[in-house]
Structure 1
Amino acid sequence: MKPLKGKVALVAGGTRGAGRGIAIELGAAGATVYVTGRTTRTQKSEYNRPETIEETAELVTAAGGTGIPVQVDHLEHDQVKALFSKIDEEQGQLNILVNDIWGGEHLTEWNKPVWEHSLKKGLRLLRLGIETHIVTSHYALPLLIRNKNGLVIEVTDGTAEYNKENYRLSLFYDLVKTSVIRMAQSLAHELTPFQCTAVALTPGWMRSEIMLEHFGVKEENWRDALEKEPHFAISETPRFIGRAVAALASDPDVVRWNGQSLSSGQLAKSYNFYDVDGSQPDCFRYLVEVQEAGKPADTGGYR
């Protein structure tokens, strides 16, 4: 079944992590997926990592869709404008916009108050995590609203409820992730007259390439990390949020979620999908009820 066959998606920030997982699952549902990022096989971004947009696009195609890589720095207006001119010329439509641009792992200084945190890094973090999303939406939405039932997904970390109650380990990080949620609410208001939908979506504790490296494991042996951090047992693959996006994009009544803050675990229950290992991790409920409550790691009832 290819419920998204004939649909055109952009995953902005699809080089690795959640963006890659989302792009693959949109491809598996039959979509044509444009994948943007700064790292290509001939040029690396400040991350200096091996993952590339070409690799993601090839994974999209292998999954059953059509992957198209385009190198874009989403802070550069001319590059972003040219991207949507290209999509318009080649496809004539844009049905799904996933704003997953981030780039801040090496900039956040965890558990440092604002007066100790590098101001240069913090302000760069704000630009990468907020400004990029605004620039992308500015140039994307005139194309998306040409057709009814367009969908915008703002990818963040944490639900509105969770972030309201919890300090996210850095003023700058906290501000970025909360702002993206508010951005989705604002976009929902602006898109309603055009019968289009915007939501904020968060993964749980995601086993991205960078997170796996942090624990010194690979996806195949990720459970070895539980010796260092037992609560990592609640973690999920990037494909899980990808399946959440594909479910939203395939839902003819997706407007019912307009303006809401959603999580991969919440949508898994609503749409009855599972992670690649057959589980349904409910990370944010686990964080509150187990980890932050000081209880021993036990995912019983949460996966």
Structure 2
Amino acid sequence: MNTTNTTPLRGKVALVAGATRGAGRALAVELGRAGATVYVTGRTTRTRVSEMGRTTETIEETAELVDAAAGTEGAGIAVPTDHLGPAQVRALVDRIDRVHGRLDVLVNDVWGGNHLLDFDTRMWDVDLERGLRMIDLGTRTHIITSSVALPLLVRRPGGLVVEVTDGTARSNQDYRENFYYDLTKNLPIRMAYVLGEELKAVGGTAVAVTPGFIRSEEMLDHFGLTEATWRDGIDKQPHWALSETPQYLARGVAALAADPEAARWNGTSLDSGQLAQEYDLTDTDGSRPDMWGYLLAERAGESPAVSDYR
């Protein structure tokens, strides 16, 4: 008889800040599949579009996907929220407190700054307002959300904060090709460390996580591909062979959230390949890509084979 608990997060409440698309959407869906009630937030709704200008993904759609994964209507709750507005975040957290009286998992995945990126451009050649907007979107949002939500999360021991970023402490030692992007993606790693130090005294845990080369909706559009045709992009970008679906990281985070020993990761930063290895998970096609492991091997002067990292 199979005694595996398929809903280890039943009764738990999660907030995924920045769940419109990509990793955030997948994280919300997998947390819902594991049994959690998931609040999904973002700026793009069926009646309003964020500055990214994408109309094809909305937070309402994410909530419906959570419902479908959980098999329960209302498992996903969409709340339009601009996480740069403290008043909006307070209203969101007050609603969670009023309805549930608890918050068990906080996922800070707000980003939405890819349209601001100027790679291979020196700091003084980047428009200052573009750079500061990137920092606001990718770091100030995380700080505001944590500041407002943590008093509810720490009300019960065992709370988990997940900072979603690009890279880990071990992989982000190299220059990230843009001053503002480098700062934006390194600060959440430090946030996880500092919050981990503060949370451990009250039985909480904070970690930073990163996908590898993620095949988000936006990235597939950038390459002119679909999930069915993604392999056609390998000729344009060899590392694309090690790309992964958003579900890959999400599966790892859901397993981490359900792990009674999750505190052993407190203050650390983990990539999707590490999580998959630790929790014996695969991507949707049954593979186990490890892009960051591959890049680290390249950095060390090795000539790794792609087939050894997928």
So what's the TM-score if we normalise by structure 2?
Answer: 0.95
In structure 2, the partner of 1:302 is 309
Residues 197, 258 of structure 1: 8 Å contact kept? yes
Residues 249, 275 of structure 2: 8 Å contact kept? no
What percent of counterpart residues are identical? 57
Please tell me whether residue 167 in structure 1 is matched to residue 172 in structure 2: no
Please tell me whether residue 192 in structure 1 is matched to residue 192 in structure 2: no
1:227 match: secondary structure? coil
CA distance in 1, matches of 2:209, 2:233: 26
In structure 1, the partner of 2:86 is 77
Please tell me whether residue 47 in structure 1 is matched to residue 52 in structure 2: yes
Where do residues 176-187 of structure 1 align in structure 2 (5 Å cutoff)? 176-187=184-195
CA distance in 2, matches of 1:93, 1:172: 35
In structure 2, the partner of 1:68 is 77
In structure 2, the partner of 1:27 is 32
Report the CA distance between 1:292 and its aligned residue: 8.7
Report the CA distance between 1:290 and its aligned residue: 4.4
Where do residues 237-256 of structure 1 align in structure 2 (5 Å cutoff)? 237-256=245-264
Aligned partner letter, 1:245: V
2:163 match: secondary structure? strand
CA distance in 1, matches of 2:126, 2:92: 35
So what's the TM-score if we normalise by structure 1?
Answer: 0.97
Q: 2:17 aligns with which of 4, 12, 19?
A: 12
Residues 203, 264 of structure 1: 8 Å contact kept? yes
Aligned partner letter, 1:30: G
Where do residues 2-151 of structure 1 align in structure 2 (5 Å cutoff)? 2-49=7-54, 50-64=56-70, 66-151=75-160
Report the CA distance between 1:115 and its aligned residue: 0.9
CA distance in 1, matches of 2:247, 2:254: 10
In structure 1, the partner of 2:226 is 218
Aligned partner letter, 1:100: D
Aligned partner letter, 1:32: T
CA distance in 2, matches of 1:31, 1:176: 29
Residues 231, 291 of structure 1: 8 Å contact kept? no
Which aligned segments of 4 or more residues in structure 1 are displaced greater than 6 angstroms? Answer: none
Aligned partner letter, 1:121: R
1:301 match: secondary structure? helix
CA distance in 2, matches of 1:118, 1:56: 33
Aligned partner letter, 2:113: G
* Compared CA separation, residues 284 and 20, structure 1 to 2 (3 A): same
Residues 151, 198 of structure 1: 8 Å contact kept? yes
Report the CA distance between 1:294 and its aligned residue: 8.5
Please tell me whether residue 270 in structure 1 is matched to residue 275 in structure 2: no
1:252 match: secondary structure? coil
